[in-house]
Structure 1
Amino acid sequence: MNHTAEFDQAISLSRTEDPSGYRADLGDGWRFGTSILGGLLMALAGRALSEDLGKASGHGDPVSVSAHFLSRSLPGPATVRTETLRQGRTVSSGMASIKQGDHERVRVVATFADLAGKTTAKPAWAFSAPPNMPPPEKCVGSEMAPPSLLKEAPFLDRVDLRLAPECVGWALGAPSGQATMQGWLRLPDDRAPDPLMLLLAVDCLPPVSLDLGIPGWAPTLELTTHIRALPAPGWLRLRHSTTLVDNDFMEEDAEVWDSTDRLVAQSRQLTRLGRPDS
């Protein structure tokens, strides 16, 4: 299987006997530690809801997706069950649950619309700017990450992620303390970004806690993503930051900018620090 189709293969679904149910396979290559990457799980739930809401109402694009991670998602078979909560003229809402055996892994509530033709040439107002960083060829590719990290995060082999040079000090034992991560992202072989890929993108950078000198895994408890527009083809620019680390919790805000300098996705997640990935 070539890398071009790998993301789409990872979120592929087949129907079960239950008309609202799907079968999926959570591939080992999308792991961080022992768990499947949260962004991939959001994209998987988004694919199932896109199928159902898109066919029923024409609303196939996620615009707001909130996921609660209830237990550790492991490589292997999974089922996705969806429920339509509301069908409207401009937006529809639904729920998706990802399970492995009797264990519910993720519960998602989302709102979908039809973004095709809705994206104007320029947003009405914009009060933020894309990350200022060197071009991708002057940034640090994930292949240069410490071997221990690559072993723990095989999903890095499935994306083309390049960190801004000022954001890699933590890997050398010298975190900057700026509480920011920035980088470029694309899927291998230039697979064009789309709304489902944006659900993955918001969760691809290393946790900001590493830049603060806090080692270890930062499992996500809740992650909400807003898709603001259809992304243009090309590289995505990512920026993650935090404003508060307290009581072993950290919020992490993400922005995703497309190749036209448009802010196409935003997210906020709550993570738990100081937990071993076991």
Structure 2
Amino acid sequence: MASPLSADRMVAALSLEGVHVAEHAGWRTHNRNSKGAWGPVNGILIHHTAGSNSLGIVWSGRSDLPGPLAHTHLAKNGTATMVGNGRANHAGPAAVNAFTAVLNESETHPRPSNASGTVDGNARLYGIEIENLGNGRDPYPAVQYQAAVRWAAAICRAHGWSANSVVGHKETSVEGKVDPSFLMDTFRADVAERLRHSAAWSPGAGTGGGTTTPNPPKKEKDMQLTDQVAVGDWQPRRWPDDKGLKDKRISVETALGSAYGHSRVAHEGVDALRKEVAEVKVQLAEVLAVLKQGRA
């Protein structure tokens, strides 16, 4: 539990962490303090905008929900625009069981339960809206994702919190929110890694490049000859077509798959043919027996 950061302290903490900060005109007095409490604060809530070019709406809000809708809007290029200083309409009611995990900086974050009751999340949580469609296909450019990590780490560092004070809206909402569209366990691990270093730390070469997909797949190890696979995975429907191959070459994978798959098909075909031949022999023997009886 802590007093909220002042506007100056917030900007200073973010800048020290390496966040590119922009200040929307009037943001220092833009809030919903007249409608409810702001503070004490206990954690950080991560959102995605579910749209594009969303800075305007995060600032002004919607007809049914006045702005600001967060404290910061994070663009695709990594620019963090400050849009609110004080209470913001971003968290809504937070499940007590989920909020308690934040309060206790628990390493596990339970599924939010409406039955546990709710607390006023807008009073207790900082919020950031990250520009993303949230459809599971729109990527988070590395510069944007790393800026989000830095933003969260900066606030944690300023308050002396651990990365377990950072949660996604989907982890607190009793209204079925699904944001953000990336894995929060991974995000918390990235925030924790930053907090193990000074605010000026930058990851070494090869870290933070490319884009971050909403749910990045686990990297698979190279296949070994002793690995077990399903037979169907190695059973092509037809022989590989080598038309157009000037040197008549195919990949080792194709060769292995085709060789095994088609040899198995051939073996099964031969077994079936043997059974048919055996049945024909029996039928032929019966016919011959009848013919012999007719001659007798």
TM-score normalised to structure 2 length: 0.22
Which entry has the higher C-alpha Rg, 1 or 2?
A: 2
> Which has the larger strand fraction?
1
Q: TM-score, normalised by structure 1?
A: 0.23
